[in-house]
Amino acid sequence: MTEEERILELRESLHQHNHNYYVLNAPVITDQEFDSLMHELQELEQRHPEMYDPNSPTQRVGSDLNNEFQTVRHERPMLSLANTYNRQDVMDFYQRVSEGLSGQPFQVCCELKFDGLSISLHYEHGRLVRAVTRGDGVQGDDVTRNVRTIRSIPLALPKGAGWPDTFEIRGEVLMPWASFERLNRQREEEGEPLFANPRNAASGTLKSKNSSTVAQRGLDAYLYYLLGDDVPGDGHFQRLETARRWGFQVSGNMRLVDSLQGIYDYIDYWDQERRHLPVATDGIVLKVNSLAQQRSLGMTAKSPRWAIAYKFQAEQAETILRQVVYQVGRTGAVTPVANMDPVLLAGTTVRRATLHNADVMENLNLHVGDHVLVEKGGEIIPKIVGVKEANTSAPPIRFITRCPVCGTPLARYEGEAAHYCPNETGCPPLILGRIEHFISRKAMNINSLGPETIDDYYRQGLIHDAADLYELGEEQLLKPSAGDQKGVRKILKSIEESRQVPFERVLFAIGIRFVGEIAAKTLARYYGSMEAVANASLDSLQQINGIGLVIAQSVVSYFRDPKNLEFVQRLQRYGLRMTLGEEEQKAQSDRLQGKGIVISGVFQHHSRDEYKAMIEQHGGKNVGSISAKTSFVLAGENMGPAKLEKAGKLGIPIVSEEEFLKMLEDEEDEAD
Ligand code: IVH
């Protein structure tokens, strides 16, 4: 067997083992055996870059390449469902359907309503080609790179299983409770804001610009709607059973019923039983099963007449409001929190509930002593949803106007619901937040320090800002309660090592509002030094691809503040990197040296201008037309036939978008 043949064989067998493990929960080989096959494939693929395939099982790990999502139109609009909340609504639906079908008998498929975000997957010749979010129902974001990392979504379907050449399948991407809890624990340790519920976490993750982040977060997907002209079967339920045979994860909890009582029984059962599921659900979905009957019922402008969602009632309890207190988070956001008489709710005793922000709180019109209704919905933290009996003898509670910690008047930024304490360099929770961000893994990565140690140092007066870390010595840290000798040495060592962190991460670490990891990288590469970034004008900043007005303004205002300038100068004196290293500059200029490249066609991942910039950054030249001197054609979809022919005649290689990105990606890996 040739290496090429072995690659194909390994891919097929790994697809099957993935399916056994992630969909069937029935692996037939050990984890070690799996890893060793994967390893073999990785090595072979590295030796055969010409066999690159975005659907290879090795691609499930994602990449660090910046994802810009392309907006694509849905072939068929993604409708949503009308919601109902009680039995009467369900009965009305049942009767409407029955009348719409002139009294014909009909079956209803009952399903769980998964609480994540909907996704549309397109397969061609048995391979995943595109994954698109719902968006506004008419068009959504192309998130294919991210979706490829979700293990339960098949990248290539088993041969001969009877799937048609093209079809679409829709479902819900979600984050199982276990992954959600692990993620929030990790974020807590790293001082990052927590996700309120698995749906937000799934949605934030799927829209992540970095597919290797997605790969690590343990997303899952259930498919619940199979579409396409050549899909076999004339019942919804039967079609999903077919999809299951093709390798898709379809819930085993769907039931076909033929009476209203059957629907009620399903609702009653799952209203309780859903608590034991590994994923969040927020209701059930009822669908008329026969596709012919679906067609005859048709749609309204917003939703099909043949389906409806029934939402579970969130559990509520009544108690008395005693006080509203205000928490200042590490970003400066001020959250009102209600203290209440303890009450039992969904199995736990609840004493506190969030009131979210000033608008939510004032809409409730609260007084101390009110009898309030507390609810636990999809959120982990309970919330007050209404007042049962107001205590009007007390004055209404108003949101505070000054920071409860430092007394500075609060600010509210346009488009944001929260109030913020703007005293970034003087209010303790904000100072601590900035230091935590500074030491975090993706910034300076001072991993021997955690939020508690930082709190401790701050309280002892050892540090007042992140720059102070570089003045710490053994004598200070060995004072009682600051730590043992071994621990202290470790801390000092990792502070010392952080001086070598590349400039782009230093730029991220200093905490310019809105300048995330990606923007910091972009700025660092564009300007090359802290000094140049600090002197950049608003105009110059906005010229850069990926930097909008909000980021540009924030950069300018950061470097206008003398306190920030002094902070950055101190970091420079302590020896942190303030310029792009030689290797990083070199990494930007080697690979395409001397190459003349023609760009042609329509692209999925980046715009034409971005590709042009990438070619230049890597030392290549973008040329307009194909000649014998052209090194290769970077071709998107629908490349013109004339160009294609000319390239063929001259023997000029055609490089796909993915292959091109892979070329640059490999280089970035080498530079790391
Ligand atoms: S069917 C035309 N089935 O709920 C049929 N949707 O508003 C459209 N959802 O956008 C969807 N579980 O994100 C369907 N078993 C299920 C579902 C489900 C969750 C979500 C989906 C949809 C929303 C309905």
Structure tokens at 159: 């041969």
Task: Please identify, by atom number, the ligand 1 atom nearest to the C-alpha of residue 303.
Answer: 2
Closest protein CA for atom 12 of ligand 1: 113
Dihedral angle over CA of 398, 401, 402, 405, nearest 10: 30
How far is residue 184's CA from residue 194's CA, in Å, rounded to a whole number? 6
Q: Is residue 398 part of a domain?
A: no
Q: Is residue 408 part of a domain?
A: no
Task: Please identify, by atom number, the ligand 1 atom nearest to the C-alpha of residue 112.
Answer: 15
Measured in Å, residue 337 CA sits from the centre of ligand 1 at: 33
Task: Please identify, by atom number, the ligand 1 atom nearest to the C-alpha of residue 118.
Answer: 13
Query: Which of 281, 311, 341 is where one domain is finished?
Result: 311
Question: Does the pLDDT of residue 569 top 50, yes or no?
Answer: yes
pLDDT in tens, 453-503: 999 999 999 999 999 999 998 888 887 665 678 889 999 999 999 999 999
Strand pairing report for 621-623 and 596-600: parallel
pLDDT in tens, 307-326: 999 998 888 899 999 999 99
How far is residue 463's CA from residue 474's CA, in Å, rounded to a whole number? 14
CA angle 384, 387, 388 (to 5 degrees): 125
Q: Is residue 68 part of a domain?
A: no
With a 6 Å cutoff on the Cβ, whether 224 touches ligand 1 is yes
Strand pairing report for 348-354 and 281-288: unpaired
519 bridge partner residues = none
Determine which one of 113, 376, 521, 643 is catalytic: 113
How far is residue 307's CA from residue 577's CA, in Å, rounded to a whole number? 59
User: In angstroms, what CA-CA distances link 24 with 18, 55, 73, 148?
Assistant: 9, 20, 33, 18
583 falls in which pLDDT band (50, 70, 90)?
low
Question: Are 228 and 168 in contact, with CB atoms under 8 Å apart?
Answer: yes
Residue 397: phi and psi, rounded to 5, are -80, 125
With a 6 Å cutoff on the Cβ, whether 137 touches ligand 1 is no
How far is residue 476's CA from residue 463's CA, in Å, rounded to a whole number? 11
Task: Please identify, by atom number, the ligand 1 atom nearest to the C-alpha of residue 225.
Answer: 1
Same domain, 509 and 530: yes
Those residues with Cβ within 8 angstroms of residue 630's Cβ, 6 or more apart along the chain or in another chain: 596, 597, 598, 623, 647, 650, 652
Q: Is residue 413 part of a domain?
A: no
Same domain, 217 and 306: yes
225 bridge partner residues = 170
In the residue annotation, 113 being an active-site residue is answered as yes
With a 6 Å cutoff on the Cβ, whether 113 touches ligand 1 is yes
Three-state secondary-structure class, residue 616: helix
389 falls in which pLDDT band (50, 70, 90)?
very high
Q: Which of 370, 296, 305, 300 is nearest to 340 (CA)?
A: 370
**What amino acid is encoded at 445 in this protein?**
N
Q: Is residue 76 part of a domain?
A: no
We report the CATH number of the domain holding residue 630 as 3.40.50.10190
Q: Is residue 625 part of a domain?
A: yes
Same domain, 303 and 347: no
Q: How far is CA 467 from the centre of its chain?
A: 32
With a 6 Å cutoff on the Cβ, whether 282 touches ligand 1 is no
| pLDDT value of residue 668 | 44
577 falls in which pLDDT band (50, 70, 90)?
very high
Mean pLDDT on 91-98 = 97
Same domain, 479 and 552: no
How far is residue 32's CA from residue 43's CA, in Å, rounded to a whole number? 16
Mutate to test the pocket of ligand 1, among 172, 226, 236 (most ligand atoms within 8 A of CB): 172
Task: Please identify, by atom number, the ligand 1 atom nearest to the C-alpha of residue 304.
Answer: 2
With a 6 Å cutoff on the Cβ, whether 172 touches ligand 1 is yes
pLDDT in tens, 348-378: 789 999 898 999 999 999 999 999 999 986 6
With a 6 Å cutoff on the Cβ, whether 174 touches ligand 1 is no
With a 6 Å cutoff on the Cβ, whether 111 touches ligand 1 is yes
pLDDT in tens, 401-454: 999 999 999 999 877 889 999 998 899 999 999 999 999 988 999 988 988 899
529 bridge partner residues = 579
We report the CATH number of the domain holding residue 368 as 2.40.50.140
Those residues with Cβ within 8 angstroms of residue 486's Cβ, 6 or more apart along the chain or in another chain: none
With a 6 Å cutoff on the Cβ, whether 508 touches ligand 1 is no
Strand pairing report for 83-84 and 307-311: parallel
Closest protein CA for atom 13 of ligand 1: 118
We report the CATH number of the domain holding residue 540 as 1.10.150.20
Those residues with Cβ within 8 angstroms of residue 446's Cβ, 6 or more apart along the chain or in another chain: 438, 439, 469, 491, 494, 495, 498
Measured in Å, residue 286 CA sits from the centre of ligand 1 at: 10
Q: Is residue 180 part of a domain?
A: yes
With a 6 Å cutoff on the Cβ, whether 285 touches ligand 1 is yes
Measured in Å, residue 113 CA sits from the centre of ligand 1 at: 6
Structure tokens at 242: 């077919």
Same domain, 120 and 250: yes
pLDDT in tens, 601-620: 888 877 777 788 788 777 78
With a 6 Å cutoff on the Cβ, whether 93 touches ligand 1 is no
pLDDT in tens, 129-183: 999 999 888 889 999 999 999 999 999 999 989 999 999 999 999 999 999 999 9
Three-state secondary-structure class, residue 33: helix
We report the CATH number of the domain holding residue 53 as 1.10.287.610
pTM for this predicted structure = 0.62
Same domain, 486 and 516: no
How far is residue 8's CA from residue 25's CA, in Å, rounded to a whole number? 24
Q: Is residue 257 part of a domain?
A: yes
Measured in Å, residue 261 CA sits from the centre of ligand 1 at: 22
How far is residue 437's CA from residue 174's CA, in Å, rounded to a whole number? 28
Question: Does the pLDDT of residue 192 top 90, yes or no?
Answer: no
| pLDDT value of residue 314 | 81
Same domain, 148 and 242: yes
Task: Please identify, by atom number, the ligand 1 atom nearest to the C-alpha of residue 111.
Answer: 15
| pLDDT value of residue 40 | 94
Measured in Å, residue 168 CA sits from the centre of ligand 1 at: 15
Closest protein CA for atom 16 of ligand 1: 113
Domain containing 24: what range? Answer: 3-61
Q: Which of 622, 615, 614, 619 is nearest to 593 (CA)?
A: 619
Same domain, 111 and 224: yes
Strand pairing report for 139-141 and 71-73: antiparallel
Question: Does the pLDDT of residue 587 top 60, yes or no?
Answer: no
Q: Where are the alpha helices (DSSP H) in 344-473?
A: 358-364, 428-439, 451-459
Same domain, 442 and 493: yes
Question: Does the pLDDT of residue 80 top 80, yes or no?
Answer: yes
**Structurally, how many domains does the chain consist of?**
6
pLDDT in tens, 638-671: 887 788 888 888 889 999 988 888 887 654 443 3
Task: Please identify, by atom number, the ligand 1 atom nearest to the C-alpha of residue 116.
Answer: 13
With a 6 Å cutoff on the Cβ, whether 156 touches ligand 1 is no
Measured in Å, residue 81 CA sits from the centre of ligand 1 at: 7
Same domain, 257 and 322: no
Least confident span in 54-63, 126-135, 212-221, 580-589: 580-589
Q: Which helix H or strand E contains 37, and what residues bound it?
A: helix 31-47
With a 6 Å cutoff on the Cβ, whether 80 touches ligand 1 is yes
pLDDT in tens, 624-635: 889 988 999 999
We report the CATH number of the domain holding residue 135 as 3.30.470.30
Mean pLDDT on 78-103 = 93
Query: Which of 440, 473, 500 is where one domain is finished?
Result: 500
With a 6 Å cutoff on the Cβ, whether 81 touches ligand 1 is yes
Q: Which of 130, 217, 116 is nearest to 171 (CA)?
A: 116
SS (H, E, C) 266-312: HHHHHHHHHHHCCCCEEEEEEEECEHHHHHHHCECCCCECCEEEEEC
Measured in Å, residue 657 CA sits from the centre of ligand 1 at: 33
Measured in Å, residue 376 CA sits from the centre of ligand 1 at: 22
| pLDDT value of residue 191 | 67
Same domain, 105 and 229: yes
Query: Which of 311, 339, 355 is where one domain is finished?
Result: 311
Same domain, 245 and 130: yes
